[in-house]
């Protein structure tokens, strides 16, 4: 079974507030192959990461105690599959081309591929892919303890080639939106690992829930800009939802000029109001724009990892080469940038 990573074009820290986001499934993926075994064990090894795990198939292993850490995802998925009465003994072989710790959802690609592989082995189908997304998220929360939203899993499960997908995180409706052929979507990894991402993520999420509770609404989706004008955290979420819808409208209208300013406004809001950026991400955004990107912003949870940029297609490689060279000269950190392609959702390996 294969599951793609994702890059989020716009709509950051909105998914767990019942808001909107616009990710695309990318041409970096995790593949999990399985072979049956009969002794009630699940073993797993990885082509990229060291170590092996051997766990009871009944989901009885606490993920927190599993070493190597990537094995916690196997334990998390087993817990969820055991609850769905679909766990059985298998040998799992994991291979991934999604760069880890980059904000491109290597974890969700792994948990979706594991969930599909274990379900396949256990004879369980997910007629509604939203249930597969929920199962993979539950597995990931078991593995990491980070209370993530559903964006990454839904993107892996509903991605469409050449399209971004608009997700309404309240209704879980997913609408494919064609990407322009004139512009490339670029990922540039800052080279800074996302060390604070887990703890700060949980804090931000709790802060959003507190504002919603104070205002007497279910989530920040139900608030207006004037209600949250004095609260930077909530202000980001409400403004970001509006930016996602404006971005989708600009894509539909073929109005590329409107896209860049929305990306930059999103980054500024994540930096100044939501406070999940770091100087390296700010510098990368600045350099990409100086070298010709129409816009750029941090993508994923923040505190390191990648920025996403849109660049005129014929200029994309040049822009990335110049921006990354200058970034390295100024910070001493080696970044890596590449053009991404929007691909289809998770499924059996071809």
Q: Quick check: 8 and 151 in contact, CB under 8 A?
A: yes
With CB under 6 A as the rule, give the number of residues binding ligand GLA: 10
Report the nearest approach of ligand GLA to the CB of residue 54 (Å). 28
Is 10 among the residues that bind ligand GLA (CB under 6 A)? Answer: no
Q: Quick check: 234 and 223 in contact, CB under 8 A?
A: yes
**Nearest by Cα to 288 from 346, 332, 327:** 327
215/212 Cα distance (integer angstroms): 5
Describe the strand order of the beta sheet including 90-96 as a list of residue ranges. Answer: 2-8, 23-36, 90-96, 41-46, 52-56
Stretch that binds ligand GLA, among 13-21, 111-119, 181-189, 253-261 (CB under 6 A): 13-21
Report the nearest approach of ligand GLA to the CB of residue 198 (Å). 10
Is 335 among the residues that bind ligand GLA (CB under 6 A)? Answer: no
Residue partners of 5: CB distance under 8 A and separation at least 6: 25, 26, 28, 29, 30, 98, 104, 105, 106, 108, 109, 156
Is 152 among the residues that bind ligand GLA (CB under 6 A)? Answer: yes
Comparing every residue's Cβ against ligand GLA, the nearest one is 149
Helix (H) or strand (E) holding 63: none
Alpha helices in 101-191 (DSSP H): 106-121, 129-144, 151-158
Is 260 among the residues that bind ligand GLA (CB under 6 A)? Answer: no
Stretch that binds ligand GLA, among 12-20, 26-34, 211-219, 315-323 (CB under 6 A): 12-20
Is 142 among the residues that bind ligand GLA (CB under 6 A)? Answer: no
**Nearest by Cα to 109 from 148, 145, 155, 146:** 155
Q: Quick check: 273 and 236 in contact, CB under 8 A?
A: yes
Stretch that binds ligand GLA, among 111-119, 145-153, 281-289, 331-339 (CB under 6 A): 145-153
Is 15 among the residues that bind ligand GLA (CB under 6 A)? Answer: yes
Is 29 among the residues that bind ligand GLA (CB under 6 A)? Answer: no
Is 12 or 280 the residue whose CB approaches ligand GLA more closely? 12
Is 148 or 335 the residue whose CB approaches ligand GLA more closely? 148
Q: The tokens of 285 are what? A: 């955004």
196/198 Cα distance (integer angstroms): 6
179/340 Cα distance (integer angstroms): 12
Is 30 among the residues that bind ligand GLA (CB under 6 A)? Answer: no
Q: Which of 98, 109, 238, 301 binds ligand GLA (CB under 6 A)?
A: 301
Q: Which of 19, 148, 159, 335 binds ligand GLA (CB under 6 A)?
A: 148
Active-site residue, 152 included: yes
Is 155 among the residues that bind ligand GLA (CB under 6 A)? Answer: no
Is 305 among the residues that bind ligand GLA (CB under 6 A)? Answer: no
- List the catalytic residue out of 15, 152, 272, 282: 152
Task: Show which residues are catalytic.
Answer: 152
- Residues that bind ligand GLA in the complex, under the rule CB under 6 A: 12-13, 15-16, 148-149, 151-152, 300-301
């Amino acid at each position: 079974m294969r599951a793609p990573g994702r890059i989020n074009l716009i709509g950051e820290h909105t998914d767990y507030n019942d808001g909107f986001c616009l990710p695309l499934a990318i041409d970096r993926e995790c593949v999990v192959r399985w072979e049956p075994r009969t002794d009630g064990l699940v073993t797993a090894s990885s082509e990229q990461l060291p170590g092996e795990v051997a766990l009871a198939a009944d989901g009885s292993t606490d993920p927190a105690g599993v070493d190597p850490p990537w094995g916690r995802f196997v334990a998390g998925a087993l817990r969820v599959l055991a609850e769905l009465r679909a766990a059985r003994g298998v040998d799992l072989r994991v291979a991934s081309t999604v760069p880890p710790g980059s904000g491109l959802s290597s974890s969700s690609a792994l948990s979706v591929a594991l969930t599909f592989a274990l379900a396949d082995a256990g004879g369980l189908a997910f007629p509604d892919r939203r249930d597969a997304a929920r199962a993979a998220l539950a597995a990931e929360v078991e593995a990491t303890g980070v209370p993530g939203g559903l964006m990454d899993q839904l993107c892996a499960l509903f991605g469409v080639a050449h399209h971004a997908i608009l997700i309404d995180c309240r209704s879980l409706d997913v609408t494919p939106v064609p990407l322009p052929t004139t512009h490339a979507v670029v990922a540039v990894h800052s080279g800074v690992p996302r060390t604070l991402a887990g703890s700060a993520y949980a804090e931000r999420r709790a802060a959003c829930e507190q504002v919603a509770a104070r205002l007497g609404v279910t989530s920040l989706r139900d608030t207006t800009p004037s209600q949250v004008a004095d609260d930077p955290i909530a202000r980001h979420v409400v403004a970001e939802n509006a930016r996602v819808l404006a971005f989708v409208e600009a894509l539909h209208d073929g109005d590329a000029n409107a896209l860049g300013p929305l990306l930059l406004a999103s980054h500024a809001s994540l930096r100044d109001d939501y406070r999940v950026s770091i100087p390296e991400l700010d510098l990368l955004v600045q350099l990409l724009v100086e070298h010709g990107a129409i816009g750029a912003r941090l993508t994923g949870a923040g505190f390191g990892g990648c920025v996403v940029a849109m660049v005129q297609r014929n200029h994309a490689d040049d822009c990335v080469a110049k921006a990354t060279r200058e970034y390295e000269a100024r910070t001493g950190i080696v970044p890596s940038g590449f053009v991404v392609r929007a691909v289809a959702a998770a499924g059996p390996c071809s």
